Copies of this chain bind each other. A is one copy, B any other.
Amino acid sequence: MARILILGAGGVANVIAVKISQQPGTFSSLCIASRNPVKCSKIAARVETALPVTTARIDASDGASVADLIRKEGSSIVMNAALPEHNLPIMDACLEAGAHYIDTSAPEPVAGAYELFAYRWQLAYHERFQEAGLTGLLSIGFDPGVTNVFAAHLAGTFDQIQSIDIIDCNGGSHQLPFATNFNPVTNLQEVTQPALWWENGKWKEEPAFQTKKTFLLPGLGPSQLTRLYHEELETLVERITGLERAQFWMGLSKDYIRHVEVLSETGLLSMEPVDHEGIPIVPLEFLGKTLPDPAALGSGYTGKTHIGCLARGLVDGQREARYMYNLCDHEKAFAETGAHAVSYTAGVPPVVAAELLLSAHTDWNKPGIWVPEDLPTAPMLSRLSNRGLPWQLIDGDKLLF
């Protein structure tokens, strides 16, 4: 029985809370803390009949305050669903107050400075977590997260894995002209940064939106995807040995790209502050305030998300392709949790990770800092299907179009 502290009160935090509340035998209480008490209370109201819930106002970038809250709540696991920019101070707080740590994403790398790749700073906490007897599970949402587990699992099915292509295609419709499915700043930075992929032992780079490819995705049909950089590539190419190529593909509709191009051309995606009546305003952060709240998109969202990992490799000297994927229905996700499938797919895996962390019978509770592919894949894969995220394994050549 563990007391859980959720940091953040967006769509993913909401799903985490609902999924926590579905297992009162595993999780004994819940505290939801964010900068926005109204959002915290809204989530609390959804789950408070299932288990004891408190809320708190917190600045997640302030590690000392987070440590105080962990101690006050007696939390044994911190589920970080705040902005990835706050990962490090929250990890500091876990070390200080003695709590396990789970998050779902890493900050974007800084363009032109890829030595500052995202996980480097978090992985540097490994010894300190080990010495404290604490576990930190990094980026265990769906992508990154389950996609890393898929990749690690698939690697074990070949004599030698050669390439991975991670695919993320939201085939749903939120019925709005334009909205991002998660934090607009994170989303718009992610899609507009230069596309990076791993090939023959090094990172290659091209401008955003340059390479597009159509895949035949089960459940969605022919889908045009755009190559971009996504953070799981960083650890996958280091941990899965022998990869000749690793790429990430995202489904971005023409209409989505049209909006992003205009916003870019009009200066609104810049992170450089602009003087407005004497006040420095970061355009992209301000844009985040004028766009629809991603957590409010759930109602009326139809269609499905499709996320998977396509792996190619050798088996008995023959090239084979295998594909593992999940399809998640927006309407079903909303009916269960009040959040759409993008939040659902990101919010369910960290709860499964918390279950595994609490289980005596897996390696998921060993002290240190881990990314998903460091850990046994079977316990995660076997539980996902029972927690609302069933997956399929098919012949990867079926995606060719």
Within 8 A of B (CB), among A270-289: 270, 274-276, 279, 281, 283, 285-287, 289
Compute how far the CA of A281 lies from the CA of B281 in the bound complex, rounded to whole angstroms.
10
Within 8 A of B (CB), among A227-279: 258-259, 262-263, 265-268, 270, 274-276, 279
For this complex, 11 residue pairs linking A to B, each with C-beta atoms less than 8 Å apart, are A178-B265, A178-B266, A259-B265, A262-B262, A262-B263, A267-B290, A270-B290, A276-B289, A279-B279, A281-B286, A281-B289
Given the interface pairs A258-B258, A258-B262, A263-B262, the reply to whether A268 lies near B287 with Cβ below 8 Å is: yes
Compute how far the CA of A279 lies from the CA of B273 in the bound complex, rounded to whole angstroms.
15
Q: Is A394 an interface residue (CB 8 A)?
A: no
Q: Is A291 an interface residue (CB 8 A)?
A: yes
Compute how far the CA of A313 lies from the CA of B178 in the bound complex, rounded to whole angstroms.
47
CB of A331, distance to nearest CB on chain B (Å): 24
Q: Ordered nearest first, which 8 A-B pairs have the shortest CB separation?
A: A267-B290, A177-B265, A262-B262, A274-B289, A259-B262, A178-B265, A276-B289, A283-B290
Compute how far the CA of A279 lies from the CA of B270 in the bound complex, rounded to whole angstroms.
19
Given A258-B258, A267-B290, A286-B286, 12 more contacts at CB 8 Å?
Answer: A178-B265, A258-B262, A259-B266, A263-B266, A266-B268, A266-B287, A268-B268, A268-B287, A268-B290, A274-B289, A275-B289, A276-B285
Compute how far the CA of A83 lies from the CA of B259 in the bound complex, rounded to whole angstroms.
30
What chain B residues lie within 8 Å of A286 (beta carbons)? 274, 276, 281, 283, 286
Compute how far the CA of A323 lies from the CA of B266 in the bound complex, rounded to whole angstroms.
36
0/1 per residue, A282-318, Cβ < 8 Å to B?
A: 0101110111000000000000000000000000000
Within 8 A of B (CB), among A108-134: none
Within 8 A of B (CB), among A75-130: none
Compute how far the CA of A322 lies from the CA of B223 in the bound complex, rounded to whole angstroms.
54
What chain B residues lie within 8 Å of A289 (beta carbons)? 274-276, 281
Compute how far the CA of A279 lies from the CA of B276 in the bound complex, rounded to whole angstroms.
11
Compute how far the CA of A274 lies from the CA of B267 in the bound complex, rounded to whole angstroms.
18
Which of A258, A285, A289 neighbours the largest number of chain B CB atoms within 10 Å of its CB?
A: A289
0/1 per residue, A33-67, Cβ < 8 Å to B?
A: 00000000000000000000000000000000000
